[in-house]
Structure 1
Amino acid sequence: MTMFSEIVRGLPPAACDGAVGSAPHSTAPIPSEELVLMVASPERIRAWLSMAVAGDQFLYATWARAPGNHPGAVLMRTLAGKGLVHLKQKRVGTSLVHRYTAERSSKPIETPAPRTVLSARLAVIAEGETDLVNALMQQLLRAARFRLPCPTDAQMARRAGVVPEVVPVAIAAMVEAGMIRVHAAPAPTLRRVTIVDSGDVTGMAA
């Protein structure tokens, strides 16, 4: 009986993304295009997903068993878990090889909400403070938009996952960068904040 790996040997390696492993015996002739044991790379899968419409199909693996922990197979299972694709498998004739196919569902790909990020003002923000400043800025933007009182240092720190002591430093950097203006206010917040770009101002505590 001819070993499957002997049949595969000699085929161009560029025909697949995954590596050819030790394959089982073949019990029936298989078309040559089915012989390569492959799993599509995550890059190829993402490229297909970015252009696919509902009903489009993509052959992402040809394997003698479940593709397992190959990065491409893991990504496909993740996409299926999110409802973006439906996964199917079909045996090739009477062989032990299966074709693994993904079909694009009608569920849209969710895009993250745009964040207010620092651009030209980055120059005056110390290295390492950018992520913290962005996290705090999101809180201030929300408070000002809905006329809510400015969060306290402790509240902002808890939501950003940092210690309260770093909040005044970040606030001062935002003022220096021209992102916000801070005004004195009664307790408990002790400040009102104006968002320079929009002109929105945080509210007063009741």
Structure 2
Amino acid sequence: MELVLVLVVVVLLAVAGVVTSGVLLTRRAVRAVQASPTLRRGRELTQYAGTAVAVVRNPGRSDRTAAALAARISAAGMGLQREVTAARRAQAHLGDVPEVLPQLTDEGYALARALRGEAAAPTGRADALHEAARAHLAAVADVTAAVRASAALPAAHGSAAAVAARAAADLHAYADAYRDLTGPDRVA
């Protein structure tokens, strides 16, 4: 009887372990999906559709400037992301931009969300939001221009063909020097 009780407890512990690990893995997967930039952009586009519907339904009550600024902030943020990605592929020096980029993206997302809300239902905070949005757009434009300028510079180490040509020339020089040192006309 004790053996059966021990087996039941062991089986229950095994089942509990499997269920717990399944729950933890599911939570981790859900968090990863929720944090994905693609899902974030999808939510943002859905919110823009709602803002557009609100502006079209009630044009007299909506703040079109706020809606336009929100769209410009999102477009500028996506443009900066594209420039940074292209600069990374070109192995350009980006300085502190990769560390600052998430904060800039989060600030832009929050501003765009507030502006979309203001566009749909004005609350009287429009002037402050417009100023913050314009300042954010100026900062993003400045960073984007700097990233673009950095990407336009030639890479510090040169192209792959130039590196390969230098390596080949070095190898030829080594082989020639070795032949000179060990050749038959060399007197020991």
Query: Normalising to structure 1: TM-score of the pair?
Result: 0.24
Structure with the higher fraction of residues in helix conformation: 2
Query: Normalising to structure 2: TM-score of the pair?
Result: 0.26
* Higher-Rg member (1/2): 2
Larger relative contact order (Cα-Cα within 8 Å, sequence gap ≥ 6): 2
Structure with the higher fraction of residues in strand conformation: 1
